[in-house]
């Protein structure tokens, strides 16, 4: 009898083991289709993508499209992609309210991008790339540009888009970069208020200022301490265009042709570029760009009380420094930079 029990136990183990093995050979989940466009924790509901600005403004970004599941994709699939205006509008209202459209993300202009309507994922492949061709020439980074995409389902589809929020949609915030754009440390930039015709001695500072791409060798900043998040109709009046010349000097001029802020450059602004390898991580290159300048401008939008505006004049002087950490082990430039 004891031998019978042992034999029955062994038989049960074999049967269960076989069942388990067969089970793992089957698909454990649904093979949904999704974008690889993660949203940063605590972010604004969009996926920031960095694209290198080139001389002609044209650059291609590859967005992965994934067939999920525990087994390899077993059939050919043609995935349809479309622009999703509705989701972007919903995000803007939820993030910034219906009554603050000046803070909204702006849908990217149609002449600034091109992508195929379908992406073919062959059997045996779980990931293919959607090639998005951008034409960034003349782009105005005063706006917060977003390209909203969605995976299209229809009755004839041989796939199903992922049902989880954000998986079947990609709200791509497009940020072009060049060698001089990005977040500058600005604690060495001093801003003085004019009193009785000359700058006072009480300097104001800020920790960061952002340089936004104009072209391959130019960026723009907002003058002085002008808030980078204020109404764009106000911000555009305070744009200062900065062109980096080969001789180490800078061309700085107001973007506004009427120069309503009365921008006046003092002396010749200069810049320097250096790079060093990290002492503890030999694959990490640290690149620095420092710009030095002095100029006057006036804030003509907020002075006074009521409807009266009394312009306030400022002197801005000092330097700002951009640090960019480059992982030289990664071949793709947009990914090797530690943003």
- Tell me phi and psi for residue 66, to 5 degrees: -120, 140
Fold that domain 182-336 belongs to in CATH: Lipocalin (2.40.128)
Concatenated DSSP letters for 219-231? EEEESTT--TTS-
Domain spans of the chain? Answer: 32-177, 182-336
Distance from C-alpha of 300 to C-alpha of 312, rounded to nearest angstrom: 7
| 272 neighbors 279 (Cβ within 8 angstroms) | no
Question: Residue 134 belongs to what H/E stretch?
Answer: strand 127-135
Distance from C-alpha of 305 to C-alpha of 323, rounded to nearest angstrom: 41
Q: In the chain, which residue ranges form alpha helices assigned H by DSSP?
A: 2-25, 85-96, 232-235, 333-336
What's the pTM? 0.86
End-to-end alpha-carbon separation of the chain, Å? 71
pLDDT by residue (tens digit) across 231-289?
888 899 999 999 999 999 999 999 999 999 999 999 999 999 999 999 999 999 999 99
Q: Which CATH architecture has domain 32-177?
A: Sandwich (2.60)
pLDDT by residue (tens digit) across 27-77?
446 789 999 999 887 778 999 999 999 988 899 999 999 998 778 888 899
Concatenated DSSP letters for 193-206? EEETTEE-S--B--
Question: Residue 131 belongs to what H/E stretch?
Answer: strand 127-135
Q: Which DSSP symbol is given to 278?
A: -
Q: In 63-110, which residue ranges form alpha helices assigned H by DSSP?
A: 85-96
Distance from C-alpha of 328 to C-alpha of 171, rounded to nearest angstrom: 29
pLDDT by residue (tens digit) across 199-220?
999 999 999 999 999 999 999 9
Six-digit token string for 224: 């002085």
CA distances from 109 to 142, 145, 325 (A): 14, 9, 31
């Amino acid at each position: 009898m004891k031998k019978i029990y042992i034999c029955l136990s062994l038989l049960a183990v074999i049967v269960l083991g076989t069942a388990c093995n067969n089970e793992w050979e089957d698909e454990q989940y649904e093979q949904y289709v999704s974008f690889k466009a993660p949203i940063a924790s605590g972010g604004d509901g969009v996926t920031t993508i960095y694209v290198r600005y080139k001389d002609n403004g044209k650059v291609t970004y590859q967005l992965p499209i994934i067939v999920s599941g525990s087994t390899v994709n077993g059939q050919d699939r043609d995935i349809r992609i479309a622009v999703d205006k509705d989701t972007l509008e919903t995000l803007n209202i939820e993030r910034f309210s219906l009554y603050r459209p000046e803070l909204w993300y702006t849908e990217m202009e149609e002449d600034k991008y091109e992508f195929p309507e379908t992406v073919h994922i062959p059997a045996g492949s779980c990931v293919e790339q959607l090639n998005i061709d951008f034409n960034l020439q003349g782009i105005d980074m005063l706006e917060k540009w977003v390209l909203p995409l969605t995976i299209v389902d229809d009755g004839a589809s041989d796939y199903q888009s992922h049902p989880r929020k954000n998986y079947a949609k990609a709200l791509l915030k497009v940020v072009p970069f060049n060698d001089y754009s990005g977040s500058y440390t600005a604690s060495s930039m001093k801003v003085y208020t004019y009193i009785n015709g000359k700058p006072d001695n009480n300097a104001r500072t800020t920790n960061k200022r952002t340089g936004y791409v104009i072209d391959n060798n130019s960026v723009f900043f907002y003058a002085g301490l002008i808030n980078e998040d204020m109404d764009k109709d106000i911000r555009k009046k305070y744009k200062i265009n900065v062109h980096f010349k080969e001789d180490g000097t800078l061309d700085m001029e107001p973007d506004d042709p009427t120069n309503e802020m009365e921008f006046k450059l003092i002396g010749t602004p200069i810049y320097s570029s250096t790079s060093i390898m990290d002492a503890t991580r030999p694959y990490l290159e640290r690149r620095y760009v420092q710009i030095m300048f002095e100029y006057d401008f006036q804030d003509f939008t907020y002075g006074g009380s009521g409807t009266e505006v009394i312009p306030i004049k400022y002197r801005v002087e000092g330097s700002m420094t951009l640090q960019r950490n480059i992982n030289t082990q990664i071949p793709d430039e947009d990914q090797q930079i530690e943003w």
